[in-house]
Amino acid sequence: MDHFIYQAESLFAEQCPVAKLAEQHGTPLYIYSRATLERHWHAFNNAVADHPHLICYAVKANSNIAVLNVLARLGSGFDIVSGGELARVIEAGGDPAKVVFSGVGKTVAEMEMALELGIYCFNVESAAELEQLNIVALRMGKVAAVSLRINPDVDAGTHPYISTGLKENKFGIAMEDAESIFLRANELPGLAIKGVDCHIGSQLTEITPFLDAMDRMLALIDRLAELGIEIQHFDVGGGLGVTYDDELPPQPDVYAAALLERLGGRKLKLIFEPGRAIAANAGIFVTQVLYLKENSDKRFALVDGAMNDLIRPSLYSAWQKIIPVVERGGYTQSYDVVGPICETGDFLGKDRQLNVQAGDYLAIRSSGAYGFTMASNYNSRPRAAEIMVDGSNAYVIREREKLAQLWQGEQLLP
């Protein structure tokens, strides 16, 4: 069920009229739906309810502490990639014992923080990181639970910038090195082997690459058993895609059922790290049209939101649906929807059929994931406010940045 729907001509977020939120809080504005976040999380959790599992929401997709708190209240675990994300999880009331720590470049300070807090597992991505983690754990008198992220060398069939499971990508340990590095991990007194991990990319719309990766990982798990290394969990990563336009990615239940079937009778606990599938369609980005303009035969709608707020269209040529907040109906024309930033690449959408006037609000759909988290202050633009709606209530979960925050921490020369 979609929680961003029109009632008469007016777009609602759950029971809140979006135009009213935009007037009250200003634009550009992110709006998230609590009901959608919860429904998406439950879709994963229910899909594997009968099998030992942990859903570790990928914090990078949307790390607002209110979003994390909504998921923590459901019992979610979290997939983090930095000390900053770990601090957010703790601030949001998340349980460190349900945290997996991914990422290719964990610092000593981040390892110490995670060991101190007692996270569930480190997803180790190289032999060098393994040695470092062992040293840190021994120095602290702790044993670090580890899983090795293996690069299964499968083509995820997604955008090259968000494909992570090919040999040439920087992520994970090459499959051919996996056994020797597991054997090494087994020798190190500061480490306890818990699992294997893979993550092959993001916005996958087919099941086949997941299953190919799983087959390779299960074969590895069997070879490790022969070497006397018992694996307790298999972290399948995230990556399940969403509908931005007309993609039809498998629903979490179909995806999970296919993985469980492949698992056969194995008792391995499954860890999932979904980010986009939980957050993307739980959010919209609302912007106001400042000016309409025509250059030769091109029509532009200049809006107050920009690539610093939502970079996916500029960075990946990603397509996200742009809809009016209040429908005018009638005659539409083709517009490039562009922001005020001094970059040709500053667009939110190209060639969109719209009937708009200056002052109208537009909503960019599917903006709940990799929207605000990738925002910057480029062109000294304060970052947008974020709202969470819950039925007919709307809460400011992050205030719009104030101008003075732009130079916070900066110093004049004496």
Ligand X SMILES: Cc1ncc(COP(=O)(O)O)c(C=O)c1O
Ligand Y SMILES: N[C@@H](CCCC[NH3+])C(=O)O
Pick the piece of the chain touching ligand X (CB under 6 A) from 11-19, 128-136, 262-270, 275-283. 275-283
Q: Count, in order, helices (H) and strands (E) of the chain.
A: 11, 21
Q: Which two tokens stand for residue 17?
A: 């009229």
Shorter beta-carbon distance to ligand X: residue 120 or 361: 120
- Neighbour count for residue 19 (Cβ, 10 Å): 18
Write out the binding residues for ligand Y, residues 210-269 only, by CB under 6 A.
none
Q: Is 316 among the annotated ligand-binding positions?
A: yes
233 in contact with ligand X (CB under 6 A): no
Q: Do 13 and 389 contact (CB within 8 A), yes or no? A: yes
Residue 28 preceded by cis peptide, ω within 30 = yes
Name which of ligand X, ligand Y, none residue 312 binds, using a CB cut-off of 5 to 8 Å depending on partner kind: ligand Y
CA nearest neighbour of 32 among 16, 49, 10: 16
162 in contact with ligand Y (CB under 6 A): yes
Interface pick for ligand X out of 276, 312, 365, 383 (rule CB under 6 A): 276
Shorter beta-carbon distance to ligand X: residue 21 or 71: 71
237 in contact with ligand X (CB under 6 A): yes
Q: Is 239 among the annotated ligand-binding positions?
A: yes
CA dist 308 → 46, 123, 227, 276, 374 (Å):
36, 31, 50, 19, 8
202 in contact with ligand Y (CB under 6 A): yes
370 in contact with ligand Y (CB under 6 A): yes
Backbone region of residue 388 per phi and psi (left: phi > 0; alpha: psi in -120 to 50; beta: other values):
beta
61 in contact with ligand X (CB under 6 A): yes
- Neighbour count for residue 333 (Cβ, 10 Å): 13
Element (H, E) at 85: helix 83-91
Give the catalytic positions in this structure: 342
Interface pick for ligand X out of 110, 125, 273, 360 (rule CB under 6 A): 273
What residue ranges bind ligand Y (CB under 6 A)? 60, 162, 202-203, 312, 316, 370
Binding-site residues for pyridoxal 5'-phosphate sit at 239, 273-276, 370
Task: Give the residues lining the site for ligand X (CB under 6 A).
Answer: 58, 61, 79, 102, 199, 202, 237-240, 273-277
